[in-house]
Amino acid sequence: MQTPHSQPNILVTGGAGYIGSHAAIRLLDDGHAVTVIDNLSRGNRGAIAQLARVGGARFCFVECALDDTAKLCEVMRASATEIVMHFAALAYVGESMERPLEYFTNNVVGGISLLNAMCASDVRKIVFSSTCATYGEPASENIPIQESLLQLPINPYGRSKLQFEEILRAECARANDANPLAAIALRYFNVAGADRALRVGEDHRPESHLIPLALEVAANTRESVMIFGTDYPTHDGTCVRDYVHVEDLVDAHIKAISALQGGEFHAWNVGTGRGHSVREVIESCRRITGHRIPERIGTRRAGDPAQLFADARAITRDLHWHAQHTELDSIVSSAWNWMQANPCGYQ
Ligand code: UDP
C-alpha cells in the first residue's frame, strides 16, 4: 500500500463494525493509510464499501479472523502497520451472560493472537477499545467513576475486556525489552450517534441498544420500546448511563495516538461526565423525532448495573479531549439523521 502522507499506517480491527468504521473513516479523512480486518460476523460490508469510496488507494480491507495469527502477520507486514486500533470484539452485556465462552474466546484469546502477530511483525503500538463495564457495579459514592476505581466487572463482557487490559499492562511492563509495547485502553461509556456526513452509522443486527431501538419505533419499524427495569435506585427508577457521541469517541482515539509511549500502559475513561436515565433517553428521542414512541415496562436485564457515568477529567487533562456533543439531544439527533437517510441501514 502506498503511504504518500507522513501519517502512520493504521490497522483497524473490527473496522466493519459501528465504532471501528467511524474510526477508520476519521483516520482516512486525516490522511492515514488504513487497513481494516474484520471477520464480518457482526460487521457490515456496506461500511467497508463506504470506507473504500472515501479512502481509495489508502484503504485496504482483508476478511480475517482475530485467531488467524499467521494471516494477521501477513497483513501487518504487507500494510507496513505502525499502529493497531483494536475494536474487534463481541460487545453485548446480555449475550455475554448467555455465551461467556464465546466472549472470552473472542475478546481474550483473539486479543492474544493479535498481540502475538504484532510482536512477530514488530508492531509496538496499540489503542484498545475497553469499556466502563470493567468497573462492574460501583457504589454510589464512586460515581462519577474515576480510572483509579478498582475494576470488578459483573458480567463476562466486562471481565473479558479487563483481562485484555491486564495482558496489555503486563506486556508493556515486560523487563529488558529494547522495543517495548505502548498501549492505551479507552474505557468507553455508552456510544451513540453517527458520522455527521452520514457516510457510516449504526446498524446492528439484531439491534439491542437503547437509542437505535427507540428511534426504530419512531421510524415505524418497531412497535414500542421496552424499559428494562423501573426499580433501580436512581432518580426515576431506570438505569443511568453516560452517552457519548461516536465522533467524540473517535476523536479520543486520535488524541491517544500521540500519547502512545513505549513501555507504558495508560487507561482513560471516555464519557461526557453526565448520566441520563432510560426514561430521559426515550424522552429525548420523542423530542427529536416528534413521535410518541410507546414504551413497555419490562424486568431488569441480567448484568446491568444501576448507574454508570464517567469522571472524564483525566482524559481532558492528559489528552486535551473534550466531548463536542455534550447534550443528549445532539447525540440522538445525529443517530436519527443517519436512520432517516438510511431507513434500511446498510442494506
Ligand atoms: N435498555 C432498555 N431497553 C432496551 C435496551 C436497553 O431499557 O431495549 C437499557 C439497558 O438496560 C441499559 C441502557 O438502556 O440500562 C443502555 O443499554 P444499551 O444496551 O444501549 O447499552 P449498554 O449499557 O448495555 O452498553
Q: Mind listing the domains of the chain with CATH numbers? A: 10-193+243-271 (3.40.50.720)
* Residue 139 predicted with pLDDT over 80: yes
Instruction: Supply the pLDDT for residue 57.
Output: 97
Please state the rounded mean pLDDT for residues 51-77. 98
Does 176 score more than 50 pLDDT? Answer: yes
What residues pair up with 267 in beta bridges, in sequence order? 185
Q: Answer whether 182's CB lies under 8 Å from 172's CB.
A: yes
Query: According to the model, what pLDDT value does residue 347 have?
Result: 87
Residue nearest to atom 5 of ligand 1 (CA): 210
The answer, yes or no, to whether residue 301 has pLDDT greater than 60, is yes
* Residue nearest atom 18 in ligand 1 by C-alpha distance: 209
Q: Which residue has the CA at smallest separation from atom 15 of ligand 1?
A: 239
Distance 216 CA to ligand 1 centre (A): 14
Could you tell me the three cell numbers for 264? 507504558
The amino acid that residue 221 corresponds to is T
Higher pLDDT, 174 or 236: 236
Task: With a cut of 80, say whether residue 3 has pLDDT above it.
Answer: no
Please choose from 234, 241, 282, 332 the residue to mutate so as to test ligand 1's pocket, defined by most ligand atoms within 8 A of CB.
241
Position 68, amino acid: D
Least-confidence region, from 170-184, 245-259, 265-279, 330-344? 170-184
CA 65 to each of CA 62, 72, 88, 210, 249: distance values in angstroms, whole numbers, following the listed order: 9, 8, 9, 29, 25
**What is the mean pLDDT of the segment spanning 103-107?**
98
- Which of 108, 24, 40, 35 has the alpha carbon at shortest distance from 77? 35
Q: Tell me the average pLDDT across 110-139.
A: 97
- How large a percentage of the chain has pLDDT more than 70? 99
**Site to substitute for ligand 1 among 93, 213, 301, most atoms within 8 A of C-beta:** 301
Q: How many CB atoms lie within 10 A of CB 139?
A: 7
CA 165 / ligand 1 centre spacing (Å): 24
pLDDT for residue 2 is more than 50:
no
pLDDT at 154 over 50: yes
Tens of pLDDT along 304-323?
A: 889 999 999 999 999 999 99
Per-residue model confidence (pLDDT) at position 324: 96
pTM listed for this prediction: 0.96
Residues with CB under 6 A from ligand 1: 93, 190, 208-210, 213, 225-228, 239, 241, 278, 301, 304
Give the three cell numbers for residue 323. Answer: 466531548
Average pLDDT, the chain: 96
Note the pLDDT of residue 5.
53
Q: Is 103 a catalytic residue?
A: no
pLDDT band at 175 (very low <50, low <70, confident <90, very high): confident
Indicate the pairing of strand 276-277 with strand 190-192.
unpaired
- Identify the active-site residue in 18, 92, 157, 232: 157
Position 20 confidence tier, pLDDT thresholds 50, 70, 90: very high
What pLDDT digit, counting tens, does each position of 215-234 carry? 999 999 999 999 999 999 99
Distance between Cα 51 and ligand 1 center (Å): 29
pLDDT digits (tens, 9 = 90+) for 243-287: 999 999 999 999 999 999 999 999 999 999 999 999 999 999 999
